[in-house]
């Protein structure tokens, strides 16, 4: 599932024009250039389990946009929302060989805050993504 998120983010020229290849899963190493985007999967919830095997799962994903400027962090958050909100359809990831059937994705929350006494800004956007099983 993380390969799907990476694929969607890294294939956006609008996002990569600002962050380059600084798109990371789970953490951003110290001393990395900014701005950058980090994403992680918070949880997976099976759907429709009344009849045995789940027919779909809802993946909760958080994307953190990190910058030394609040406006830039917010801009990255808005771009990320446009990329991942309301995606549908089948996506195949050539590198991993995985195929995902996205039934729906929806933004569930957004926030922005500062760290290090206002020297670093983190804008987060949260999504629920429903993936159906073949």
Which DSSP string do the residues of the chain spell out, in sequence order? -HHHHHHHHHT-HHHHHHHTT-EEES---TT--SSEEEEEEEEEEEE--TTSS-SEEEEEEEEEEEESSHHHHHHHHHHHHHHHTT--EEEEETTTTEEEEEEEEEEEEEEEEEETTTTEEEEEEEEEEEEE--
Q: What is the pLDDT of residues 61-73, one digit of tens each?
A: 999 999 999 999 9
Which range marks the domain in which residue 51 is found?
2-132
Q: What is the pLDDT of residues 12-71, one digit of tens each?
A: 999 999 999 999 998 777 667 899 999 999 999 887 666 667 788 999 999 999 999 999
Global pTM value = 0.89
| CATH code for the domain in which residue 119 is found | 3.30.2000.30
State the total domains in the chain.
1
């Amino acid at each position: 599932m993380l390969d799907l998120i990476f694929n969607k983010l890294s294939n956006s020229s609008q996002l990569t024009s600002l962050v380059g290849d600084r798109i990371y899963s789970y953490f951003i190493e110290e001393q990395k250039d900014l701005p950058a985007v980090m994403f992680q999967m918070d949880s997976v919830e099976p759907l429709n389990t009344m009849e045995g095997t789940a027919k779909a799962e809802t993946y909760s994903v958080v994307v953190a946009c990190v910058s030394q400027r609040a406006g830039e962090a917010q801009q990255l958050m808005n771009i990320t929302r446009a990329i991942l909100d309301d995606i549908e359809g089948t996506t195949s990831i050539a590198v991993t060989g995985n195929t995902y059937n996205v039934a729906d994705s929806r933004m569930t929350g957004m926030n922005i805050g500062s760290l290090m006494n206002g020297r670093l800004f983190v804008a987060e956007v949260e999504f629920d993504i429903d993936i159906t099983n073949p």
